[in-house]
């Protein structure tokens, strides 16, 4: 792990009277402390914070402003989360407009439980940079008589524009969005070269972590080490930190790290 973007809804931490600014300040201070400790252990990691607004609430504009306010201190983007059905992202258009107009970044959970309309709204109405999950994009992929995949217009747009998909295999199996890791659409989307990235969703409830997700893909869906590197590079390309910092991590940390792993595992790379 060399880079992480952690999402949290500050509005869920206010029960005992903390202000939103106090909450963000404390989370960032915690990340800084963790970064320092990892540095001391010789395993540097950079951690950014995504501020999440709850879809079911009406505080998204406030949270978007909070994210913009803290962008120089370690907040890297804005996000909405929570129940999809009945709570379309268009309910929060003001927040997304504010983020875009501040030249800031956003990701929207869309197309997890809910289908293509949710993805379409997130991409074409809200203008999201990335799709949280986005797994239901496969609903816009069919197969012809020769069993070749045919992309519908929404799937084609997402692939052509390289919209990053934040895929979370274990979580999707647990929520029923996918039958198993083996049958999870991440394999098909990888083969079709969508901008697929691998994520944990929530580590606690899903009882998972990045290495476990990678392990599952290798052992249950036949992913190779090269493909794990591809997922990692995709994720880094899609990160919300500046381009030059992303490039440095890809070229000086991620690729050499995988090359070293291949050598140690005696895998031809």
Which residues carry out catalysis? 112
User: Shortest distance, CB of residue 160 to Zn ion, whole angstroms?
Assistant: 25
Cβ atoms of 20 and 11 within 8 Å: the answer is yes
User: Shortest distance, CB of residue 161 to Zn ion, whole angstroms?
Assistant: 22
Tokens 């997890």 belong to 112
Q: Does the protein bind Zn ion through residue 213 (CB under 5 A)? A: no
User: What is the C-alpha separation between 157 and 114, in angstroms, rounded?
Assistant: 19
The DSSP secondary structure of 193-205, one letter per residue, reads: T--EEE--S-TTT
Cβ atoms of 173 and 180 within 8 Å: the answer is yes
User: What is the C-alpha separation between 7 and 186, in angstroms, rounded?
Assistant: 22
User: What is the C-alpha separation between 247 and 43, in angstroms, rounded?
Assistant: 19
Q: Does the protein bind Zn ion through residue 166 (CB under 5 A)? A: no
Residue 155 burial by Cβ neighbours in a 10 Å radius (0-12, 13-18, 19+) = buried
Give 52 or 229: the residue with its C-beta nearer to Zn ion: 52
Could you count the other beta carbons within 10 Å of the beta carbon of residue 17?
A: 6
Q: Does the protein bind Zn ion through residue 79 (CB under 5 A)? A: no
Give 53 or 68: the residue with its C-beta nearer to Zn ion: 53
- Which residue has its beta carbon closest to Zn ion? 201
Please name the helix (run of DSSP H) or strand (run of DSSP E) that holds residue 76, with its range, or none.
Answer: strand 75-81
Binding residue for Zn ion, selected from 121, 140, 166, 201, defined by CB under 5 A: 201
User: Shortest distance, CB of residue 189 to Zn ion, whole angstroms?
Assistant: 17
Segment interacting with Zn ion, rule: CB under 5 A, options 55-63, 146-154, 194-202, 227-235: 194-202
Structure-token pair, residue 34: 């963790």
Give 140 or 201: the residue with its C-beta nearer to Zn ion: 201
Give a three-class secondary structure readout of 98-155.
Answer: HHHHCCCCEEEEECCCCCHHHHHHHHHHCCCCEEEECHHHHHHEEECCCCCEEECHHH
User: Shortest distance, CB of residue 94 to Zn ion, whole angstroms?
Assistant: 23
Cβ atoms of 158 and 133 within 8 Å: the answer is no
For Cα atoms 175, 179, 184, give the angle at the middle one, nearest 5 degrees: 100
Segment interacting with Zn ion, rule: CB under 5 A, options 144-152, 187-195, 196-204, 236-244: 196-204
User: Shortest distance, CB of residue 56 to Zn ion, whole angstroms?
Assistant: 14
Give 121 or 201: the residue with its C-beta nearer to Zn ion: 201
Q: Does the protein bind Zn ion through residue 121 (CB under 5 A)? A: no
Give 128 or 229: the residue with its C-beta nearer to Zn ion: 128
Segment interacting with Zn ion, rule: CB under 5 A, options 1-9, 14-22, 138-146, 193-201: 193-201
The number of residues that bind Zn ion (CB under 5 A) is 1
Give 199 or 234: the residue with its C-beta nearer to Zn ion: 199
User: Shortest distance, CB of residue 186 to Zn ion, whole angstroms?
Assistant: 14
Segment interacting with Zn ion, rule: CB under 5 A, options 47-55, 59-67, 178-186, 200-208: 200-208
* Site for Zn ion, rule CB under 5 A: 201
């Amino acid at each position: 792990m060399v880079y992480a973007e952690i999402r949290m809804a500050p509005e869920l931490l206010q029960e005992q009277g903390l202000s939103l600014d106090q909450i963000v300040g404390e989370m960032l201070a915690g990340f800084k402390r963790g970064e320092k400790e990892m540095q001391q252990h010789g395993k540097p990691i950079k951690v950014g914070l995504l501020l999440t607004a709850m879809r079911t609430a009406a505080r998204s504009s406030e949270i978007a402003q909070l994210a913009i306010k803290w962008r120089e201190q370690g907040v890297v983007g804005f996000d909405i989360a929570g129940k999809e059905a009945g709570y379309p992202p268009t309910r929060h258009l003001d927040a997304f407009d504010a983020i875009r107009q501040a030249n800031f970044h956003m990701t929207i959970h869309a197309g997890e439980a809910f289908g293509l309309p949710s993805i379409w709204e997130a991409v074409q109405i809200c203008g999201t940079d990335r799709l949280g999950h986005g797994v239901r994009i496969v609903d816009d992929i069919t197969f012809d008589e020769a069993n070749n995949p045919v992309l519908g217009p929404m799937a084609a747009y997402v692939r052509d524009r390289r919209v990053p998909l934040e895929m979370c295999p274990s979580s999707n199996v647990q929520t029923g969005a996918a039958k198993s890791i083996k049958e999870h659409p991440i394999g098909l989307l990888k083969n079709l070269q969508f901008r697929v990235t691998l994520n944990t969703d929530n580590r606690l409830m899903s009882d998972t972590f990045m290495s476990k997700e990678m392990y599952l893909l290798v052992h249950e869906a036949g992913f190779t080490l090269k493909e794990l590197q591809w997922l990692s590079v995709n994720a880094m390309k899609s990160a919300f930190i500046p381009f030059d910092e992303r490039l440095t991590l890809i070229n000086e940390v991620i690729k050499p790290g995988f090359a070293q792993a291949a050598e140690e595992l005696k895998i031809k790379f």
